[in-house]
Copies of this chain bind each other. A is one copy, B any other.
Amino acid sequence: MSRAKKPPQSRKPSPASAAESEAPAEPVLSEETKHLLELVDQMLLIRAFEERCVELYSAGTIRGFIHLYIGEEAVAVGVNAALSPDDAVVSTYREHGHALARGVPVEAVMAEMYGKATGCSHGRGGSMHLFDVERRFYGGNAIVGGGLPIAAGLALADRMTGRNRVTCCFFGDGAVAEGEFHETANLAALWDLPLLLVCENNLYAMGTPLEREHAQTDLAMRAASYGMPAWAVDGMDAVAVERAARRAVDGILAGNGPHFLEMRTYRFRAHSMYDPDRYRDKAEVERWRERDPIPLLARRLPPGAADLEEMTKRATAVVDRAVAAAEAAPVEPVEDLYRFVSHEGS
């Protein structure tokens, strides 16, 4: 089946925008403005969700490894805007943003952080393993580079069955050094797989700066050497991200094989909770904070179109409800320990 580029509003609305849509839509807003407002809403929801996670983690309510996406939200929402519901997404351990942008219900994601039975992975996975197959969100993967071959396989299945849709794989700059990146890039280009490779280059792999991870720090150029279209994008600008992702998706759907996008972005927080962030110069962090993707996008809206304060309140309210639901939700009984190990429950 071939498909036409869908207009933004035809895409699955995010929970936040769903919440919003109940409020009477401002009549004077153009489709484009509405769409950008939706992206702002999605970013605010991700931001509010993660800021709540910090509190919950510090309070010891949620545990495990928590990798915050704060500062990188434009990548998730911009790329998602270019995807349609029947496309697939494979992500990393830093995937709260990808899951929420994809439309995985906030309640289900928050419940997963709590390890509750109502979580999007039944509570088995936690922060690093969010799944929602109904939305073709094939999960957080905590092995750096480990999701890449899986994504190639999802794309291969579509290629073999003639389904014209895209598999999008998110991964970091550090992952590009793993052998699995190389093997996947070659397979995808060799087999013309409908694969969108989105490298979130936040300039660090844990505490290691890009220039000590890679001999060639121009990652888009490295990817291009496999013979696939590849270019770098301002990952702080949601509009630039969406435009680039659309171009890539169109190219993939037109049968031009895999595309690689290097999203130049930055994490405002440490690699993970408790990382003291010794290795980054505070001034560097400050410079990047000045390009916070949320105000950056809000400033592009017509005057008065975006009331950030009000929108933030709504997002916070959504998160409040999710926390309340998660608190109230049941955990899986210990007797079910062996559940999901195999279909037999061996």
Contact = CB atoms under 8 A, between A and B. Distances in A.
Interface of A: 177-183, 185-186, 188-190, 212-216, 221-222, 224-228
Given A215-B226, A225-B222, A226-B215, A178 B189 contact: no
Of A212, A226, A228, the most chain B CB neighbours within 10 A belong to A226
Contacts of A185: 215
Contact of A225 (B178, B181, B225, B228): B225
Question: 7 closest pairs, A vs B, by CB?
Answer: A179-B179, A189-B215, A182-B182, A225-B225, A190-B215, A216-B227, A215-B227
A214 to B, nearest CB: 6
Contacts of A180: 179
Contact of A216 (B178, B213, B225): B225
Contacts of A188: 215
Max chain B CB contacts within 10 Å: which of A183, A189, A212, A216? Answer: A216
A230 to B, nearest CB: 11
Contact of A215 (B177, B179, B186, B215): B186
Chain A interface, >50% SS class: helix
20 contacts: A177-B183, A178-B179, A178-B183, A179-B182, A181-B182, A182-B182, A182-B183, A186-B216, A189-B215, A190-B212, A190-B213, A190-B215, A215-B226, A215-B227, A216-B225, A216-B227, A221-B225, A222-B225, A222-B226, A224-B225
Nearest to A225: B225
Contacts of A178: 179, 183
A214 B224 CA distance: 13
A190 B189 CA distance: 25
Contacts of A183: 177-179, 182
Contacts of A186: 177, 214-216
A214 B179 CA distance: 15
A180 B181 CA distance: 11
A150 to B, nearest CB: 15
A245 B221 CA distance: 27
Contacts of A214: 186, 190
Contacts of A213: 190
A182 B226 CA distance: 12
Listed residue (A179, A181, A214, A226) with the most chain B CB atoms within 10 angstroms of its CB: A179
A275 to B, nearest CB: 23
A225 B185 CA distance: 14
A176 to B, nearest CB: 9
Nearest to A211: B190
Given A179-B179, A190-B212, 17 more contacts: A177-B186, A178-B183, A181-B182, A186-B215, A186-B216, A190-B213, A190-B214, A190-B215, A215-B227, A215-B228, A216-B225, A216-B226, A216-B227, A221-B225, A222-B225, A222-B226, A224-B225
Contacts of A221: 225
Contacts of A212: 190
A213 B181 CA distance: 16
A216 B179 CA distance: 17
A49 to B, nearest CB: 35
A41 to B, nearest CB: 39
A270 B330 CA distance: 64
